[in-house]
Homo-oligomer: A and B are copies of this chain.
Amino acid sequence: MLRLTQSEENYLKAIFTLSQDTEGAISTNDLAEKMLTKASSVTDMLKKLCEKELLEYQKYQGCALTNSGKAHALAIIRKHRLWETFLVDKLNFGWDEVHEIAEQLEHIQSTELTDRLDEFLGFPKVDPHGEPIPGKDGRIESVSNRILLSESLVGMKAIVMGVEDDQTEFLQYLNKIGLHLGTPIDIADKLSFDGSVLVNMNGKQVQFSITIAKQISIKPL
Protein backbone atom coordinates (compact mmCIF):
# COMPACT_ATOMS: atom_id res chain seq x y z
CA MET A 1 0.00 0.00 0.00
CA LEU A 2 1.13 3.52 -0.91
CA ARG A 3 3.07 5.28 1.85
CA LEU A 4 1.82 8.77 2.71
CA THR A 5 3.19 11.67 4.73
CA GLN A 6 1.24 12.99 7.72
CA SER A 7 0.34 16.06 5.73
CA GLU A 8 -1.03 14.02 2.84
CA GLU A 9 -3.04 11.92 5.28
CA ASN A 10 -4.49 15.02 6.91
CA TYR A 11 -5.61 16.36 3.55
CA LEU A 12 -7.30 13.08 2.65
CA LYS A 13 -9.11 13.00 5.98
CA ALA A 14 -10.26 16.60 5.59
CA ILE A 15 -11.53 16.00 2.05
CA PHE A 16 -13.35 12.89 3.19
CA THR A 17 -15.14 14.62 6.06
CA LEU A 18 -16.04 17.63 3.89
CA SER A 19 -17.45 15.23 1.30
CA GLN A 20 -19.73 13.74 3.96
CA ASP A 21 -21.96 16.81 3.96
CA THR A 22 -21.29 18.25 0.52
CA GLU A 23 -22.68 17.30 -2.85
CA GLY A 24 -20.14 17.11 -5.66
CA ALA A 25 -16.54 18.32 -5.63
CA ILE A 26 -14.78 20.00 -2.71
CA SER A 27 -13.56 23.52 -3.44
CA THR A 28 -10.00 24.62 -2.88
CA ASN A 29 -11.10 27.42 -0.56
CA ASP A 30 -13.27 25.19 1.63
CA LEU A 31 -10.38 22.80 2.00
CA ALA A 32 -7.96 25.63 2.80
CA GLU A 33 -10.28 26.81 5.56
CA LYS A 34 -10.60 23.32 7.01
CA MET A 35 -6.84 22.78 6.91
CA LEU A 36 -6.09 26.22 8.37
CA THR A 37 -3.86 26.96 5.43
CA LYS A 38 -3.85 29.00 2.20
CA ALA A 39 -5.54 28.15 -1.09
CA SER A 40 -2.20 28.17 -2.90
CA SER A 41 -0.85 25.47 -0.58
CA VAL A 42 -3.97 23.41 -1.20
CA THR A 43 -3.57 23.65 -4.97
CA ASP A 44 -0.04 22.27 -4.70
CA MET A 45 -1.15 19.38 -2.54
CA LEU A 46 -4.11 18.57 -4.80
CA LYS A 47 -1.74 18.23 -7.73
CA LYS A 48 0.40 15.83 -5.76
CA LEU A 49 -2.48 13.70 -4.50
CA CYS A 50 -3.98 13.62 -8.00
CA GLU A 51 -0.63 12.40 -9.32
CA LYS A 52 -0.84 9.55 -6.80
CA GLU A 53 -4.39 8.79 -7.93
CA LEU A 54 -5.84 9.40 -4.49
CA LEU A 55 -8.22 12.00 -5.86
CA GLU A 56 -9.47 13.49 -9.06
CA TYR A 57 -8.64 17.08 -9.66
CA GLN A 58 -9.07 19.46 -12.53
CA LYS A 59 -8.04 23.09 -12.46
CA TYR A 60 -10.74 25.35 -11.04
CA GLN A 61 -13.10 22.38 -10.61
CA GLY A 62 -12.29 21.26 -7.06
CA CYS A 63 -11.53 17.67 -6.11
CA ALA A 64 -13.13 14.35 -5.16
CA LEU A 65 -11.51 11.27 -3.62
CA THR A 66 -10.98 8.13 -5.69
CA ASN A 67 -11.74 4.76 -4.13
CA SER A 68 -8.10 4.48 -3.16
CA GLY A 69 -8.24 7.91 -1.51
CA LYS A 70 -11.41 6.98 0.36
CA ALA A 71 -9.83 3.77 1.59
CA HIS A 72 -6.86 5.70 2.94
CA ALA A 73 -9.11 8.28 4.61
CA LEU A 74 -11.21 5.57 6.25
CA ALA A 75 -8.09 3.81 7.51
CA ILE A 76 -6.96 7.03 9.20
CA ILE A 77 -10.40 7.67 10.69
CA ARG A 78 -10.46 4.08 11.93
CA LYS A 79 -7.16 4.58 13.71
CA HIS A 80 -8.23 7.94 15.13
CA ARG A 81 -11.42 6.54 16.62
CA LEU A 82 -9.82 3.36 17.95
CA TRP A 83 -7.11 5.37 19.71
CA GLU A 84 -9.73 7.73 21.18
CA THR A 85 -11.56 4.69 22.50
CA PHE A 86 -8.33 3.36 23.98
CA LEU A 87 -7.58 6.67 25.68
CA VAL A 88 -11.04 6.92 27.25
CA ASP A 89 -11.74 3.25 28.03
CA LYS A 90 -8.28 2.16 29.14
CA LEU A 91 -6.43 5.28 30.24
CA ASN A 92 -9.44 7.09 31.73
CA PHE A 93 -9.14 10.28 29.75
CA GLY A 94 -12.25 12.45 29.41
CA TRP A 95 -13.97 12.59 26.00
CA ASP A 96 -12.90 16.23 25.78
CA GLU A 97 -9.20 15.40 26.22
CA VAL A 98 -8.51 12.85 23.51
CA HIS A 99 -8.84 14.58 20.16
CA GLU A 100 -5.40 16.20 20.06
CA ILE A 101 -3.58 13.06 21.09
CA ALA A 102 -5.51 10.92 18.61
CA GLU A 103 -4.56 13.39 15.86
CA GLN A 104 -0.99 12.22 16.41
CA LEU A 105 -1.70 8.54 17.01
CA GLU A 106 -3.77 8.21 13.82
CA HIS A 107 -0.56 8.51 11.77
CA ILE A 108 1.17 5.48 13.29
CA GLN A 109 1.84 3.10 10.42
CA SER A 110 1.01 -0.50 11.22
CA THR A 111 -2.13 -2.29 10.18
CA GLU A 112 -1.23 -5.10 12.54
CA LEU A 113 -1.16 -2.65 15.44
CA THR A 114 -4.52 -1.18 14.48
CA ASP A 115 -6.18 -4.55 14.21
CA ARG A 116 -4.75 -5.79 17.50
CA LEU A 117 -5.84 -2.60 19.22
CA ASP A 118 -9.34 -3.14 17.82
CA GLU A 119 -9.35 -6.63 19.28
CA PHE A 120 -7.92 -5.45 22.61
CA LEU A 121 -10.78 -2.95 22.88
CA GLY A 122 -13.36 -5.64 22.13
CA PHE A 123 -14.18 -4.48 18.58
CA PRO A 124 -16.02 -1.31 19.63
CA LYS A 125 -18.71 -0.03 17.24
CA VAL A 126 -18.50 3.64 18.20
CA ASP A 127 -15.86 5.97 19.63
CA PRO A 128 -16.24 8.05 22.83
CA HIS A 129 -18.17 10.70 20.87
CA GLY A 130 -20.62 8.20 19.45
CA GLU A 131 -19.02 8.23 15.99
CA PRO A 132 -18.96 4.87 14.22
CA ILE A 133 -15.57 3.14 13.88
CA PRO A 134 -14.82 1.84 10.35
CA GLY A 135 -13.92 -1.86 10.23
CA LYS A 136 -10.76 -3.47 8.82
CA ASP A 137 -12.36 -3.39 5.40
CA GLY A 138 -13.27 0.31 5.70
CA ARG A 139 -16.97 -0.36 6.05
CA ILE A 140 -18.94 1.80 8.48
CA GLU A 141 -21.88 0.08 10.10
CA SER A 142 -24.75 2.52 9.93
CA VAL A 143 -25.91 3.69 13.31
CA SER A 144 -29.66 3.27 13.34
CA ASN A 145 -32.48 5.60 14.28
CA ARG A 146 -30.37 8.62 14.92
CA ILE A 147 -31.41 12.18 14.26
CA LEU A 148 -29.86 15.52 15.09
CA LEU A 149 -31.23 17.41 18.07
CA SER A 150 -31.98 20.25 15.65
CA GLU A 151 -34.41 17.93 13.80
CA SER A 152 -36.23 16.75 16.92
CA LEU A 153 -39.91 17.43 17.60
CA VAL A 154 -41.37 19.02 20.71
CA GLY A 155 -42.50 16.40 23.21
CA MET A 156 -39.97 13.82 22.03
CA LYS A 157 -38.05 11.76 24.58
CA ALA A 158 -34.59 10.63 23.47
CA ILE A 159 -31.12 9.45 24.45
CA VAL A 160 -27.95 11.35 23.54
CA MET A 161 -25.98 9.13 21.13
CA GLY A 162 -23.17 11.27 19.79
CA VAL A 163 -21.61 14.62 18.96
CA GLU A 164 -20.52 15.73 15.49
CA ASP A 165 -17.75 18.00 16.75
CA ASP A 166 -14.99 16.81 19.05
CA GLN A 167 -13.26 20.10 19.77
CA THR A 168 -12.16 20.41 23.38
CA GLU A 169 -14.10 23.59 24.27
CA PHE A 170 -17.39 22.28 22.92
CA LEU A 171 -17.08 19.02 24.85
CA GLN A 172 -16.04 20.83 28.02
CA TYR A 173 -19.20 22.92 27.72
CA LEU A 174 -21.28 19.76 27.39
CA ASN A 175 -19.51 18.33 30.44
CA LYS A 176 -20.32 21.48 32.40
CA ILE A 177 -24.04 21.24 31.70
CA GLY A 178 -23.99 17.50 32.40
CA LEU A 179 -24.63 16.20 28.87
CA HIS A 180 -22.91 12.89 28.11
CA LEU A 181 -23.48 9.92 25.80
CA GLY A 182 -26.52 8.06 27.13
CA THR A 183 -28.06 11.07 28.88
CA PRO A 184 -31.89 10.90 28.58
CA ILE A 185 -33.52 14.13 27.40
CA ASP A 186 -37.02 15.59 26.83
CA ILE A 187 -37.57 18.09 24.04
CA ALA A 188 -39.54 20.78 25.92
CA ASP A 189 -39.85 23.43 23.22
CA LYS A 190 -38.40 24.81 20.01
CA LEU A 191 -38.20 28.54 19.32
CA SER A 192 -39.33 29.12 15.76
CA PHE A 193 -37.55 32.47 15.27
CA ASP A 194 -33.98 31.25 15.92
CA GLY A 195 -34.30 27.48 15.96
CA SER A 196 -33.20 27.13 19.59
CA VAL A 197 -34.16 23.89 21.32
CA LEU A 198 -35.25 23.78 24.97
CA VAL A 199 -34.35 20.51 26.60
CA ASN A 200 -35.14 19.01 29.99
CA MET A 201 -32.34 16.83 31.31
CA ASN A 202 -30.99 15.86 34.72
CA GLY A 203 -34.00 17.69 36.24
CA LYS A 204 -32.99 21.04 34.73
CA GLN A 205 -33.92 22.91 31.57
CA VAL A 206 -31.16 23.84 29.11
CA GLN A 207 -31.38 25.92 25.95
CA PHE A 208 -29.33 24.98 22.88
CA SER A 209 -28.80 27.31 19.91
CA ILE A 210 -29.44 25.85 16.48
CA THR A 211 -25.68 25.68 15.91
CA ILE A 212 -25.21 23.46 18.93
CA ALA A 213 -28.37 21.45 18.26
CA LYS A 214 -26.91 20.50 14.89
CA GLN A 215 -23.87 19.00 16.64
CA ILE A 216 -25.77 16.64 18.93
CA SER A 217 -27.21 13.37 17.68
CA ILE A 218 -29.97 11.58 19.57
CA LYS A 219 -32.02 8.38 19.40
CA PRO A 220 -35.76 9.03 19.93
CA LEU A 221 -37.39 6.55 22.31
Question: Which of A's residues lie within 8 Å of B, judged by CB?
Answer: 87, 90-93, 97, 100-101, 104-105, 107-110, 112-113, 116-117, 120
Contacts and interface: CB of A to CB of B under 8 A. Distances in A.
A172 B128 CA distance: 38
Nearest to A90: B120
A103 to B, nearest CB: 10
Nearest to A91: B116
A97 B100 CA distance: 27
Given A90-B120, A92-B116, A101-B110, 11 more contacts: A91-B113, A91-B116, A91-B120, A93-B112, A93-B116, A100-B110, A101-B113, A104-B108, A104-B109, A104-B110, A105-B108
A101 B108 contact: yes
A101 B113 CA distance: 8
Nearest to A6: B6
A48 to B, nearest CB: 21
Q: How many copies does the complex hold?
A: 2
A99 to B, nearest CB: 12
A100 B109 CA distance: 10
Contacts of A100: 110
20 contacts: A87-B113, A90-B120, A91-B113, A91-B116, A91-B117, A91-B120, A92-B116, A93-B112, A93-B116, A97-B112, A100-B110, A101-B108, A101-B110, A101-B113, A104-B107, A104-B108, A104-B109, A104-B110, A105-B105, A105-B108
A116 B108 CA distance: 19
Contacts of A93: 112, 116
Contacts of A101: 108, 110, 113
A20 to B, nearest CB: 27
Contacts of A97: 112
Contacts of A104: 107-110
Contacts of A120: 90-91
